[in-house]
Chains A and B, each alone.
Chain A
Amino acid sequence: MSEDRTLEEFKRREEKAREIRRKHADWDFINKQPEPIKSALKILIETGDLWYAAKITGIPMGELNEIRRKANIPLVVV
């Protein structure tokens, strides 16, 4: 498989993973969270990047990971 095709395939997988995160997420729980937790969870759903979501919002990564589980957001390995 060529580099372009593989990276295209990766982008497709990422999009599917984003859909899975959006679908599984407990939006009621997310929308009830105070800032910056709410934003962190939304960033996580869109990017799938726990470290990035934690860094941007200043929430410790381990803490955000625990909240992620309560919000039912899966980490999708693509």
Chain B
Amino acid sequence: MSAVVDACFFINWSQFKQRDEIFKLFRTLIIPEIVLDEIRSSIARSYLYLLAYQRRVSIAPRVGVVDREALKLFTLINSSSTLPRIDEPESYGLALALMLRLPFLTDNAAPRLATRYIKYLREAKVYDSLIVLKMLYKGKELITKVKEYSDETGVIFSEERLQEEGIK
């Protein structure tokens, strides 16, 4: 199985020392062309090139059918006064993942919450980095890796989010 990945998730994940472990879960990472330009940091770019060389990453071209779906999601989520806002590349990634029936990897809470409240999105699988870490590691190792991930990427998880995943 592959997964569609958001730019911010990829940029941060690329700084994690155990970054290659993600391929125990997903055969390839699909990066929408629309977010490719956002991956500019040297670490993330080098990692992207390495993965391309290893044929573990693919670039999804920007196509009208996904754009239309993305616009629908963008409007649906952002017209809600209570849901957190979703950005354009993220709605594209979510639309693509939904259409391909693949997980969408993002640390933004908007897509994750939207799958709970928008009936049309119920089948979408949205994983943040904590869920990915939880899929990779168990028990004490998970706690250690969560700490390492935070130290190495500057991404931290709220107490509530950790409790939700049974980590704290």
Chain A residues within 8 Å of B, Cβ to Cβ:
3-4, 6-7, 9-10, 13-14, 16-17, 20, 49-52, 54-55, 60-63, 65-66, 68-69, 72-78
Contact = CB atoms under 8 A, between A and B. Distances in A.
Contact of A6 (B8, B84, B116): B116
A61 B109 contact: no
A62 B12 CA distance: 9
A10 B90 contact: no
Interface residues of B, number: 36
23 contacts: A9-B160, A10-B113, A13-B158, A13-B161, A14-B84, A16-B158, A50-B8, A51-B7, A51-B87, A51-B90, A60-B38, A61-B40, A62-B40, A65-B11, A68-B154, A69-B154, A72-B154, A74-B155, A75-B8, A75-B12, A76-B156, A77-B109, A77-B129
A74 B107 CA distance: 12
Given A10-B109, A65-B8, A76 B84 contact: no
Contacts, number: 92
A78 B109 contact: yes
Interface of B: 7-8, 11-12, 37-41, 44-45, 82-85, 87, 89-90, 107-109, 113, 116-117, 128-130, 150, 153-158, 160-161
Contacts of B39: 62
A75 to B, nearest CB: 5
Contact of A74 (B83, B113, B117, B154): B154
A49 B85 contact: yes
Given A50-B8, A61-B40, A65-B12, A77 B90 contact: no
A17 to B, nearest CB: 6
Given A77-B109, A77-B128, A63 B85 contact: no
Contacts of A54: 38
A72 B116 CA distance: 32
Nearest to A10: B113
